[in-house]
A = this chain, B = another copy of it.
Amino acid sequence: MRDMLGREEVITVEKALEFIFSNLSPKLPPEKSLKISESYGRILSRDICSPEDLPNFSRSTVDGFAVAAFDTFGATEGMPAYLNIQYEILMGEEPDCELKKGEAAKIATGGMLPKGADAVVMLEHTQKIDEKMMEVVKPVAPRENVIQAGEDAKKGEIILKKGHKLRPQDIGVLAGLGITDIWVYEKPKCSILSTGDEIVPPDQPIKTGQVRDINSYNLTGLILNEGAVPLLKGIFKDEYTIIRNIVQKSLEDSDMVLITGGSSVGAKDVTAQVINDLGKPGVVFHGVSLKPGKPLIGGIINGVPIFGLPGHPAAVTVCFEIFIKSVLKRLSGLSKDRFNKEKHTIKARIAKNISSSPGREEHIGVALEERNGEVWAIPILGKSGLITTQIKADGMAVIPLRKLGVQEGEIVEVRLF
């Protein structure tokens, strides 16, 4: 992974992702059964078919009168149709009446149509004459203001596909069909290893020259946001045997392993060495044309993805968004179909000229601001090692690989936090 001059050879983000995905185990995660009330945000491991027609009876979509449409044909304000209010449909009950010619039944939204009725006249288009008679001033067509039995979903029809992430409305529909138990994929587990001789836990005293562990906390939140389970393994010295042992142990209980830091000279090589020594194919790339995030190491050990992340917190966030997030989605069983629906990006105008080196994709923290109805992205500038810049940002603007920079006012894509 080094060129003739000993420099690390970097590859594009696209290529790096391809290397990771083509080496991932094709196995889908194990599944488990859950109550729907515990399944918000979970991913379906089996297709769901409608067990019945939905709705299972023809129902009104408005408040008004169930009628035979024929009886209203030609009705106008000046020449209304007169109908007898013969019945009232009670909610939740199957009407036992049958409309005859010239008859109507009072019905509410959701009420079941009686026999002899094929449409509903809205209350607004009627005029009451007395308790037993009304005028219809506007005709209805057959099926107007009615949902037919099975119109929403037919019995046996696939309504939600395997690999779908369940949103509130999806769970609502399952409840509507009487489906209260479903099969979902287990959440992927992701180990977090912090390395670096200078790193101390945030609740312990600190000496000059040391820094507190930021990345474990940042990664924990990022992993939780993806619906996965973070496993905090702790802080480890930059030594081959120590790192090797903890990575080996982590491979036993994790679907992915993340190693951050290793910022002392040579530490990056320790991570790469461990990945290469523990299984095949080992390191699949070392260095990407991404800023921040260039030193990223990507590897696969017997189907399990493992990343060696740079120590800078801002770089960790970018590497997570670009690489780890999509690998986690794949490990979670999310279908390809839903994959791209999960991106939260917006277009905004950049508020400053930004230069960028060609041949690398650059990600810049931006605050968003509305100016005359347009969204502007204000770059949060600062040295790459600063961490509070990330607090001030609402998202990251992306300058693509082949661009030399962007000019004030140009449209950029912003990935929202």
Residues of chain A at the chain B interface (Cβ within 8 Å): 7, 36-37, 40, 54-57, 59, 61, 63, 90-95, 106, 108-112, 124, 147, 151-153, 159-160, 167-180, 196-200, 202-203, 206-222, 224-225, 238, 263-265, 267, 311-313, 317, 340-341, 344-347, 368, 370, 383-388, 390-391, 394, 416-417
Is B214's CB under 8 angstroms from A172's CB?
A: yes
Is A178's CB under 8 angstroms from B206's CB?
A: yes
Is B208's CB under 8 angstroms from A391's CB?
A: no
| A218 contact from B171, B207, B217, Cβ within 8 A | B171
Chain B residue contacts of A63, Cβ below 8 A? 265
User: Can you list 28 A-B contacts with CB-CB less than 8 angstroms, sorted by A residue number?
Assistant: A36-B217, A37-B220, A40-B220, A61-B385, A91-B264, A92-B199, A93-B209, A109-B385, A110-B198, A151-B386, A159-B388, A167-B221, A167-B417, A168-B218, A168-B222, A169-B317, A170-B391, A171-B217, A172-B215, A172-B221, A172-B387, A173-B387, A175-B216, A176-B214, A176-B313, A178-B203, A179-B202, A344-B344
Interface centre among A95, A179, A217, by most chain B C-beta atoms within 10 angstroms, is: A217
| A211 contact from B55, B94, B211, B220, Cβ within 8 A | B55
Complex-state Cα separation, A54 to B361, whole angstroms = 29
Complex-state Cα separation, A61 to B197, whole angstroms = 16
Q: Which 8 A-B pairs have the closest CB atoms?
A: A168-B221, A92-B198, A172-B218, A175-B202, A91-B198, A175-B217, A169-B390, A61-B385
CB distance from A2 to the nearest CB of B (A): 13
Complex-state Cα separation, A218 to B173, whole angstroms = 8
Complex-state Cα separation, A305 to B257, whole angstroms = 46
CB distance from A292 to the nearest CB of B (A): 10
Is A176's CB under 8 angstroms from B387's CB?
A: yes
Complex-state Cα separation, A283 to B210, whole angstroms = 60
Chain B residue contacts of A110, Cβ below 8 A? 196, 198, 211, 263, 311, 385
Instruction: Count this chain's copies in the assembly.
Output: 2
Is A169's CB under 8 angstroms from B224's CB?
A: no
Complex-state Cα separation, A160 to B59, whole angstroms = 53
Complex-state Cα separation, A206 to B215, whole angstroms = 52
Complex-state Cα separation, A174 to B171, whole angstroms = 36
Interface centre among A36, A90, A210, by most chain B C-beta atoms within 10 angstroms, is: A210
Chain B residue contacts of A106, Cβ below 8 A? 265
**Other 20 A-B pairs with CB < 8 A, given A110-B211, A111-B198, A175-B213:** A37-B217, A54-B388, A56-B208, A91-B264, A92-B200, A108-B267, A109-B311, A109-B385, A112-B208, A151-B386, A152-B386, A167-B417, A168-B220, A168-B225, A169-B313, A169-B391, A169-B417, A176-B211, A176-B212, A176-B313
Closest residue to A161 on the B side, CB-wise?
B391
Interface centre among A95, A168, A174, A216, by most chain B C-beta atoms within 10 angstroms, is: A168
Is A391's CB under 8 angstroms from B173's CB?
A: yes
CB distance from A39 to the nearest CB of B (A): 9
Complex-state Cα separation, A159 to B224, whole angstroms = 24
Is A387's CB under 8 angstroms from B202's CB?
A: no
CB distance from A7 to the nearest CB of B (A): 8
Is B224's CB under 8 angstroms from A152's CB?
A: no
Is B217's CB under 8 angstroms from A172's CB?
A: yes
With A109-B311, A152-B388 already in contact, the answer to whether A91 and B196 are too (CB < 8 A) is: yes
Closest residue to A232 on the B side, CB-wise?
B37
Chain B residue contacts of A265, Cβ below 8 A? 63, 106, 108
| A207 contact from B94, B202, B213, B214, Cβ within 8 A | B94
Chain B residue contacts of A385, Cβ below 8 A? 59, 61, 109-110, 147
CB distance from A43 to the nearest CB of B (A): 15
Is A172's CB under 8 angstroms from B313's CB?
A: yes
Complex-state Cα separation, A124 to B7, whole angstroms = 9
Is A90's CB under 8 angstroms from B197's CB?
A: yes
Closest residue to A199 on the B side, CB-wise?
B92
